[in-house]
Structure 1
Amino acid sequence: MKYTTEITVNLPLDEFIKKLDNPEHMKHWQEGLQEYQLLSDRPNAEGAQMSLKYKMGKREFEMVETIIKSNLPHELHTTYDTKGIHNIQKNYFKDVEGKTLWISESEFQFSGLGMKLIGFLMPGAFKKQSMKYLKDFKAFAENGTSVLNPQ
């Protein structure tokens, strides 16, 4: 399953990247994130990995992020792996008149009958979650609004 989401954030590209590229900020725009752990000595380098633990409702899961291409401030490509799902994220950042356009290309590859079925029956849920992360980042970056303290 492949799709693209995009959003314009009212920040210059350099400020946008400073907020996006700081793992301490993730908890403010990735709802359900419980903790992260850097698994590499050079956290922003290609090949670097980070473990991410989430809780959504009663469901807890862990995934590993791997940076496959880092060309900041213009692009950042990563993979996310968890049981039954391999997610490839290609993120592009463009300066548009002092604002930042974030274009995110998502590709989900499912393994196992259960995950393949969920991917087939609920593609909208994946797109909706991707867009929620973009909107929550925008709210955090522009206004300091955190998913930890909903208003």
Structure 2
Amino acid sequence: MKRIKIILGVIAALTIVFFSTGLFFKETAYTTQITVNKPIDEVFSLFNDTSKIKNWIPDVQSIEAIDEKPEKTGSTYKMVVKNNNGEEIALEEKVIAFVPNEKVTLRFKSPTMLKTDDYVFSFTDGNTTIQNNSRCIGGSYILSCLFPYFKGKLQSIDQEYLNNFKAFIEKN
């Protein structure tokens, strides 16, 4: 009986810790970065060419403009991605900020999360550096509790996409 009480006490404590995570961590934030051996104008242009995105983000099945603005800021797109289970998920992508050769901020909205990627471009010694500051907010309280535990996985996925972009642009 004593073992059962100890086991139930441990389970209760872990449950409390898990559900309190959402109270303390409202969002999950992380940074990724890559340096590309190309001029900034070429890097920025190719990075923002939606017809080429599948070359470095293989999960993207399609991307179509819903409302494309000439200055880019405020443009919205419907993006369909395939998850690890092979299911297709529709996302809404909105361009929050667009400063040529300097910055692009994208917001992705799905039923499970709201993610903001703030890409900053800089040029030094013939190389372009792309730094991505990401913030994820769960679409539900349970997901808000879960995201901090998967921060490393989210960060590694975004870093993989930047690595793929580097390989793609430097190959061309």
TM-score normalised by length of structure 1: 0.89
| Structure (1/2) with the larger strand percentage | 1
Q: CA deviation at 1:117?
A: 3.8
Q: 1:21 aligns with which of 31, 35, 48?
A: 48
Give the structure 2 partner of residue 83 of structure 1: 111
Offset from partner CA, 1:98-149 (integer Å, 9 cap, x none): 11000110001112144224313311110011101100100111114xxxxx
Give the structure 1 partner of residue 15 of structure 2: none
Q: 1:109 aligns with which of 137, 154, 164?
A: 137
Which structure 1 segments of 5+ residues have no match?
145-151
Q: What RMSD in Å do the two structures reach over aligned CA positions?
A: 1.4
Determine if contact 2:112/2:143 at 8 Å carries over to the other structure. Answer: yes
CA, structure 1 residues 50+43, in 2 after alignment: closer, same or farther (shift >3 Å)? farther
Determine if contact 2:30/2:151 at 8 Å carries over to the other structure. Answer: no
Instruction: Confirm or deny that 1:69 pairs with 2:90.
Output: no
Instruction: Confirm or deny that 1:5 pairs with 2:5.
Output: no
Offset from partner CA, 1:9-57 (integer Å, 9 cap, x none): 1111011112111111101001111111101142652111011101133
Of 64-73 and 42-51, deviating more is: 42-51
Give the structure 2 partner of residue 47 of structure 1: 74
TM-score normalised by length of structure 2: 0.79
Determine if contact 1:9/1:142 at 8 Å carries over to the other structure. Answer: yes
Aligned residues: 144
Report the structure number with the largest CA radius of gyration: 2
| Structure (1/2) with the larger helix percentage | 2
The within-5 A match list for 1:124-139 is 124-139=152-167
Structure 1 CA distance for aligned equivalents of residues 124 and 83 of structure 2? 35
Structure 2 CA distance for aligned equivalents of residues 37 and 102 of structure 1? 24
- Report the residue type matching 1:46 in the other structure: T
